[in-house]
Amino acid sequence: MRSQIRTYYLRRFVNSIVDSTLSSPSLAEMVRHHLMVDFSRQHNPPYQAFYKVYDDREAYLELSVTDARGYSDPVYEQGLALLRIGVNGALVSPDDEQYAARAFAGRPFRTCPYCQQPFSRWLDYYGHIQTNHWELKAIS
C-alpha cells in the first residue's frame, strides 16, 4: 500500500494506529514478528517526508508526506516515535520507549481520552486504559 497524505492526516493516521493497539492485535502480532519503521526527509523542494513500515523481506506501508514545508524535523521524529509504538503494540521494546522519550523531550506523548491524564510511556497508557476505563471501552 502506498499513500500520499498531508501532515494533518498523517498525524490522524499515526494516532489511530497507536489507539488501535488498545483494542486489537498490533501489526507486529499479526505477522508474528517485529516490523521496522523508518523515516527520512528530503529538504529540497518540494519538501517531502517518507515513512516506511517494513520487515527484512518487503515494505508493508509507505507514506509520503508532501505538505511538509512548514514543519520542523521534531514533528516528524514524534510521528516516527508514535508509529514505532503503534506498529509494535504489545511487543513494544525499551528502544521504542526511549526513542519516544527523546522525541517528545520528556513531554507526554498520549493523554487519556476519558480522564485527560497524560502519559509518557505506552505501557503505562495501555495499562491505565485497560484497568481504569475498561467499562468505558466496552461502551464505546
What pLDDT score does 99 carry? 93
Tell me if the pTM is above 0.75.
Answer: yes
Mean pLDDT of all residues belonging to the chain: 85
What pLDDT score does 138 carry? 54
pLDDT, tens digit, for every residue of 46-77? 788 899 999 888 888 898 888 777 788 898 99
* Number of helical (H) and strand (E) elements in the chain, helices listed first: 6, 6
Amino acid (1-letter code) at residue 109: F
4-30 b/e with 16+ CB inside 10 Å = b?
eeebeebbebbeebbeebeeeebbbee
The percentage of the chain sitting over the pLDDT mark of 70, rounded to a whole number, equals 94
